[in-house]
Amino acid sequence: MKTITLVTPHYAPESGAAAKRLTAIAEFLVSKGWQVTVLTLLPNYPENKIYAGFDVPVPDRREEKGVKVIRLRPWFVPRANLPLRLMAETLFSIQTFYHLLTLESGVILASSPFMFLGPSSLLASWLKRTPFCWDVRDLTWLYVGAAGKKTYGLDRILASLMRWTAKKADALTAASEGFLNYFVARPQKTMTLFNGVTQQQLELLAKVQASPPKQSSPKTILFAGLIGYNQYLSVLVETAKLLPEMNFTICGDGPDLPNLKQLAQTYQLTNVRFTGYLTMDALLKEYQQADILAAHVRSSPVIEWLHPAKLWEYMATGKPVVHAGEGDIINLIKQHNIAVPVPPENPQALADAISYLASHPEEALQMGKRGRQFVEIERNREKMLANLEQLLSSLLERPS
């Protein structure tokens, strides 16, 4: 039987993009006859506290939908404290390194955003003489320098370590072509593993698509996802200030949420509502009430390679989407006319795009339909995971 160990900080029942992706990978491989073990943390994201029913002695071992899940205890640190966050991520990498040495695995796959999981899992694979695949979803080691903060050369050291890890891996997968191209020297076995939506999610979100559009005013603009550095959602609050006749709902949690609430209070905005983290059922209700879905990514030469996972979930609802960003994703949006693209960090441009969709309901409706169709064909996660399964199977065929 084919065996694999997946190393990830996020896994079900968490419902963030990383947890959805790794859970889908694990369950898909099980459906194809693999024996899958997942090394992860006790579920805690995004509240930074352990979920009810999971505050148990570690390592916690369970079988969930055919997947053997081993959970370790997280070290909780303030999310705004970058040095402590790096130390917590390093501790998890050390813990998983020990467990990898004790587990029988035909393949090891480590997935970011925790950057040190790549090097530590590579070392474990060498000691066990096991093929290693690194799944890169974010270039987090570049963010501090991109934000203009002093790094004292640490960013260059980390970049060298990560490029070396990619070069030495047996296979490399990444969330976009831009991420792959960042690693100039990389293994022969590579693939772009885009973010996507599972068939189950498509069916669930079709209920939103089937719901009748809201005819009454005011219009509701929705953001749903992580509220952090990349998203730079103060721009969305500024946009709400420009559009007092519309309601803005911001769903999710993250390190920037307190700042957003303070900004909305400073402006005395009555048209901005914060829901905090929501379950999928609660989020579906918010999607049904929304008229337009909005996403924003800050301007940065690092972040421009991102293809935000939330865009595909947005489009799967069949609702019209406005995306403020730059890079490859903008070219894709324009090519297929599946959203309204605007430049990032420009509240007026975002407000103009929202106003345009609100005043052109038929055009918005057709755009929403095109977005849904694009996701069904091009971002169906099962189709992409079939290619990943082939790549992982090829690693087992290498000479010992």
Angle between helices 257-266 and 234-242 (to 10 degrees): 20
Per-residue pLDDT, 270: 97
Exposure class string for 98-132: b at 16+ Cβ within 10 A, else e: ebbeebebbbbbbbbbbbbbbbbbbbbbeebebbb
Which residues are CB-neighbours of 162 under 8 A, at least 6 positions away? 115, 118, 119, 139, 141
Which residues are CB-neighbours of 269 under 8 A, at least 6 positions away? 237, 240, 241, 244
Two domains, one topology: 3-196+380-395 and 199-378: yes
- Yes or no: domain 3-196+380-395 corresponds to CATH 3.40.50.2000: yes
pLDDT of 215 > 50? The answer is yes
Mean pLDDT of 263-287: 95
In the chain, % of residues over pLDDT 90: 78
Residue-wise pLDDT tens digits, 78-121: 877 878 988 999 999 999 999 999 999 999 999 988 999 999 99
Choose the weakest-confidence range: 146-160, 221-235, 247-261. Answer: 146-160
pLDDT of 271 > 90? The answer is yes
Residue-wise pLDDT tens digits, 119-171: 999 999 999 999 999 999 988 888 777 666 777 788 899 999 999 999 999 99
Report the CATH fold assignment for 199-378.
Rossmann fold (3.40.50)
Mean pLDDT of 173-193: 92
With bands split at pLDDT 50, 70 and 90, how would you rate the model's confidence at 228? confident
Residue-wise pLDDT tens digits, 328-386: 899 999 999 999 999 999 999 999 999 999 999 999 999 999 999 999 999 999 999 99
pLDDT higher for 367 or 305? Answer: 367
Domain ranges in the chain are 3-196+380-395, 199-378
With bands split at pLDDT 50, 70 and 90, how would you rate the model's confidence at 399? low
Q: What is the bridge-based pairing of β-strands 220-224 and 247-251?
A: parallel
Instruction: Provide the mean pLDDT of the chain.
Output: 93
